[in-house]
Amino acid sequence: NMKLGGLGPDYETIKEKVKKLKLQKEYSRQIKEYNMRNITVLQRLPAKAQVSSVSRQKALEYAKKIPRPKTFITKQPEQEALPQAPTGTSLPPLPSLESLWNRHRKEKEAVAAFKALHIL
């Protein structure tokens, strides 16, 4: 009379687990009710002692007497968009946007050719 495991759910173990969970919940409810009835109202902590205005005034006076640190004044650049070359030297002219786009297209075509040859 051996009962081997089957493919379906084991209703007996499920019933036992459900019964155990119900007992746990009932016990926790009873403990909660007991605690609510028997716990005395805790006395509230006394409010924080307010700082007297005299000590605040002293602190403000002390803060006024402390020398402030010196701040360094930094020069603000006049124009940040383009760097200026020193006088007497000339910079090479900047390429136009159109020429840069053409160069980009050519380099893109070259990369595509390398990919087609499986070099990259």
Residue with tokens 């499920």: 14
In a domain, 65, yes or no: no
Report the pLDDT value the prediction gives residue 43, as an integer from 0 to 100. 47
In a domain, 113, yes or no: no
Its pTM stands at 0.30
In a domain, 117, yes or no: no
Report the pLDDT value the prediction gives residue 88, as an integer from 0 to 100. 63
| Residue 105 main-chain phi, psi, to 5 deg | -60, -40
Helix, coil or strand: residue 14: helix
In a domain, 32, yes or no: yes
Cα 79 from Cα 84, distance rounded (Å): 9
Report the pLDDT value the prediction gives residue 104, as an integer from 0 to 100. 95
Residue with tokens 């002293």: 58
What residue ranges of the chain have pLDDT lower than 70?
1-3, 5, 40-52, 75-89, 91, 120
The total number of structural domains that make up the chain: 1
Structure tokens, 16 = 């036992």
In a domain, 38, yes or no: yes
Q: Which domain holds residue 41?
A: 10-45
In a domain, 71, yes or no: no
Q: Length of the chain in residues, anyone?
A: 120
Structure tokens, 9 = 């759910």
Cα 26 from Cα 50, distance rounded (Å): 47
In a domain, 26, yes or no: yes
Q: Which of 105, 81, 107, 106 is nearest to 94 (CA)?
A: 81
In a domain, 37, yes or no: yes
Contacts of residue 114, defined as CB under 8 A and 6 or more positions apart, other chains included, come to: 120
Cα 120 from Cα 114, distance rounded (Å): 6
